[in-house]
């Protein structure tokens, strides 16, 4: 028994169990946000039913404030995206369309199959006279699941398949059953594909950001440089972030039209 306790794998498993236990205790001790959520929802609905602009703005602002507080506290970046959708709607109702687009894009990343989000995003983009980018690259066509499943879903699927593969492989190791071997191999291949997809997301996939306030596109990182084009970029535009300047205050971006230039960091929020 003592020799098993010295095994690194056993130690890792025990640590993992301990960490899970601590997380469960922590979650149980946290304040239940149900009441805040209810208040926010009520404020939002009341805002929709308000009869004057001032009252409407006040109610939506109150709802938005609660949603943003919950976002700051819980940061559900690997969640189901519903909170982001509600935040986006609140911004939309306050006519803060660039921020609404930002949160709709975040929701799309977490709920890629939800048409509701896409519709609202299109309406928000329309308010700013933005043309949505619906092009699909060959990579996206081949690895359709990459965009069909959100990142948390792919991670979940990978974990489940990996656990199943380990189980099947272990079964084959002890019993030498050929079917177990074949099943483990199949699961391993699927895990490998998902791992590739995750690796692409993390390392290769470009960062994207939303321009939350209109800004000129400069040739280099500074306002003293010439502009790439005279008219400023419209707020709400979806940009591909290529690089960060040395000082961190400017971002090199590419517009949907393909123009490359620099914009101030403060004008862009990453999706």
Tokens 């803060």 — which residue?
96
- Residue 81 to residue 109: CA distance in whole angstroms: 8
> Which lies closer to another protein via its Cβ, residue 138 or residue 230?
230
Q: Could you tell me the sign of the dihedral formed by the alpha carbons of 240, 82, 35, 31, in that order?
A: negative
> Which lies closer to another protein via its Cβ, residue 114 or residue 245?
114
Which listed range, 95-103, 203-211, 219-227, 241-249, lies at the site for another protein (CB under 8 A)? 95-103
Contact 163, 190 (CB under 8 A): no
Contact 197, 154 (CB under 8 A): yes
In the DSSP assignment, the letter for residue 215 is B
> Which lies closer to another protein via its Cβ, residue 149 or residue 244?
149
| 202 class by beta-carbon count within 10 Å (0-12 exposed, 13-18 middle, 19+ buried) | exposed
Site string for another protein, 206-245 (x = CB under 8 A): -------xx--------------xxxx-x-----------
Residues 16-75 that bind another protein (CB under 8 A): 16, 32-34, 37, 40-41, 44, 48, 50-54, 56-57, 70, 74
> Which lies closer to another protein via its Cβ, residue 156 or residue 245?
156
- The DSSP element (H or E) to which 91 belongs, if any, is helix 82-93
Which listed range, 134-142, 169-177, 239-247, 260-268, lies at the site for another protein (CB under 8 A)? 169-177
> Which lies closer to another protein via its Cβ, residue 127 or residue 147?
127
- Residue 211 to residue 47: CA distance in whole angstroms: 27
Q: Is position 153 an interface residue for another protein (rule: CB under 8 A)?
A: yes
CB of 138 to another protein, least distance (A): 25
Q: Is position 116 an interface residue for another protein (rule: CB under 8 A)?
A: yes
Q: Is position 264 an interface residue for another protein (rule: CB under 8 A)?
A: no
- Residue 89 to residue 103: CA distance in whole angstroms: 9
> Which listed residue (14, 22, 39, 123) binds another protein by CB under 8 A?
123
> Which lies closer to another protein via its Cβ, residue 219 or residue 229?
229
> Which listed residue (64, 106, 109, 120) binds another protein by CB under 8 A?
120
DSSP string spanning 116-174?
Answer: HHHHHHHHHHHHTTPPP-----HHHHHTHHHHHS-HHHHHHHHHHHHHHHHHHHHHHHH
> Which lies closer to another protein via its Cβ, residue 93 or residue 221?
93
> Which listed residue (59, 62, 86, 105) binds another protein by CB under 8 A?
86
- The separation between the first and the last C-alpha atoms of the chain, rounded to the nearest angstrom, is 51
- Residue 182 to residue 169: CA distance in whole angstroms: 9
């Amino acid at each position: 028994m003592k020799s098993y306790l010295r095994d690194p794998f056993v130690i890792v498993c025990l640590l993992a169990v301990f960490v899970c236990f601590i997380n469960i205790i922590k979650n149980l001790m946290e304040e239940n946000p149900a009441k805040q959520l209810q208040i926010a929802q009520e404020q939002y609905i009341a805002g929709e039913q308000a009869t004057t602009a001032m009252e409407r703005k006040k109610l939506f602002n109150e709802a938005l404030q609660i949603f943003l507080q919950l976002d700051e506290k819980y940061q559900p970046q690997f969640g189901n995206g519903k909170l982001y959708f509600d935040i986006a709607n609140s911004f939309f109702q306050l006519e803060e369309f660039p921020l609404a687009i930002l949160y709709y894009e975040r929701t799309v990343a977490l709920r890629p199959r939800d048409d509701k989000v896409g519709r609202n995003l299109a309406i928000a983009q329309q308010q700013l006279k933005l043309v949505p980018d619906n092009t699909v690259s060959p990579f996206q066509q081949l690895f359709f699941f990459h965009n069909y499943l959100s990142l948390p879903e792919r991670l979940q699927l990978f974990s489940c398949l990996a656990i199943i593969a380990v189980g099947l492989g272990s079964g084959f190791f002890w019993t030498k059953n050929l079917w177990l071997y074949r099943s483990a191999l199949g699961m391993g291949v699927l895990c490998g594909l998902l791992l590739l997809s995750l690796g692409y997301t993390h390392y290769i996939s470009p960062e994207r950001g939303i321009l939350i306030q209109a800004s000129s596109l400069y040739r280099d990182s500074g306002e003293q440089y010439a502009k790439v084009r005279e008219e400023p970029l419209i707020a709400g535009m979806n940009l591909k972030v290529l690089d960060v300047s040395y000082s961190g205050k400017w971002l090199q971006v590419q517009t949907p039209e393909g123009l490359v230039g620099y914009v101030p960091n403060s004008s862009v929020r990453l999706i």
